[in-house]
Amino acid sequence: MKYNITDMTHTQFSNWLMPMVDCPLFESRERLVALLAKNADRAALETELREFYEDYCGLAFELEAPEESLLSILRGSDRFAPLQRRVAIVESARKTSPAGRIARRMSDKPLLTDPQPEIKVSALSDEGFRALMETCANWGLFAARERIVKLQKVSPSDAAAEQLKSEFLDFFVYYLELEQFFEDYDYNPDEGLELRPEVAERLEQSVAEVEAGTAELIPIEEVAKKLGLKW
């Protein structure tokens, strides 16, 4: 499916943007900033990182479908040359496959066929962990989102629509850079959490059904299709 944002009016484009610029990630980021400002302990930061990462995955799912169309728009105009250079850097540094990126969002685990992350978040020193949180909180994605929100409120016009689209493409490239940044980190938001007994029992039952060959398995391609994702 093509996402032809070039033909959208200011109002149409602003409405289309809402799931991406009004997602929970931005509330999580504000909480993270507040925690860093009051020098919160690692346990509090780890709790918020769990929310931040899950919400980042939510944004990733929103941007998965239009990604190729947005990249095509960026590559189609010389006025986006600075963004093209940033995308080229991301693509040259990427270690994971498209399927691997989807799998990691869905299961928090990279594919075995992809290079494995080198930095285990849980093994970082307190200083290193805080530095990671500060990097996440200060990512350019958040300033770009603030510019978009302001432009959504201006009087609709062709010029405003073009400026809004340009700012969104900058936001999109910041997202690609954040995605590539996370590739180096081995992070499971569920690590250290205890399963409720009934959930653990159901998981054990599911594993037993798979091993016995009685489970009804759904191909990952079908799961991706139901979620509206490319595979």
Average pLDDT value for residue range 19-32: 96
| Rounded Cα gap, residues 104 and 108, in angstroms | 4
Which residues face 119 on adjacent strands? Answer: 185
What pLDDT score was predicted for residue 102? 79
- With 60 as the cut, is the pLDDT of residue 137 above it? yes
Render pLDDT for 172-215 as a digit per residue (tens, 0 to 9).
999 999 999 999 999 988 765 444 455 445 546 655 665 566 65
Mean pLDDT of the chain: 85
State the Rg of the chain over Cα. 20
pTM here is 0.80
End-to-end alpha carbon distance in the chain: 13
Average pLDDT over residues 220-231: 49
Per-residue confidence band for 154, with pLDDT thresholds at 50, 70 and 90: very high
Q: Distances from the Cα of 63 to the Cαs of 6, 19, 165, 169, in angstroms?
A: 17, 10, 15, 11
- What's the pLDDT score for residue 148? 97
Dihedral sign, Cα of residue 175, residue 180, residue 184, residue 186:
positive
For position 223, what pLDDT does the model report? 45
Task: For the beta carbon of residue 81, count every other beta carbon within 10 angstroms.
Answer: 10
Give me the torsion for CA of 62, 66, 68, 72, rounded to 10°: -130
What does the alpha-carbon distance between residue 114 and residue 96 come to, in Å, rounded to a whole number? 5
The two three-digit tokens of residue 170, written as one number: 């900058």
Decide if pLDDT at 216 tops 70: no
pLDDT for the residue 199: 41
Q: Stretch 14-28: mean pLDDT, rounded? A: 95
What pLDDT shows up at residue 188?
Answer: 83
The amino acid occupying position 142 is F
Question: Which tokens hold the place of 54?
Answer: 């899950």
Q: pLDDT tens digits for 164-180?
A: 999 999 999 999 999 99
- pLDDT, one tens digit per residue, over 79-92 is 999 999 999 999 99
Burial (CB count within 10 angstroms: exposed 0-12, middle 13-18, buried 19+), residue 194? exposed
Report the range out of 121-135, 196-210, 216-230 with the highest average pLDDT. Answer: 121-135
Kindly indicate the confidence band of residue 227, based on its pLDDT and cuts at 50, 70 and 90: very low
Q: Give the tens place of pLDDT for each residue, 65-79.
A: 899 999 999 999 999
User: How confident is residue 133, by pLDDT bands cut at 50, 70 and 90?
Assistant: very high
Q: HEC states along the chain? A: CCCCHHHCCHHHHHHHHHHHHCCCHHHHHHHHHHHHHCCCCHHHHHHHHHHHHHHHHHHHHHHHCCHHHHHHHHHCCHHHHHHHHHHHHHHHHCCCCHHHHHHHHHHCCCCCCCCCCCEEHHHCCHHHHHHHHHHHHCCHHHHHHHHHHHHHCCCCCHHHHHHHHHHHHHHHHHHHHHHHHHCCEECCCCCCCCCCHHHHHHHHHHHHHHHHCCCCCCCHHHHHHHCCCCC
pLDDT given for residue 208 in this prediction: 61
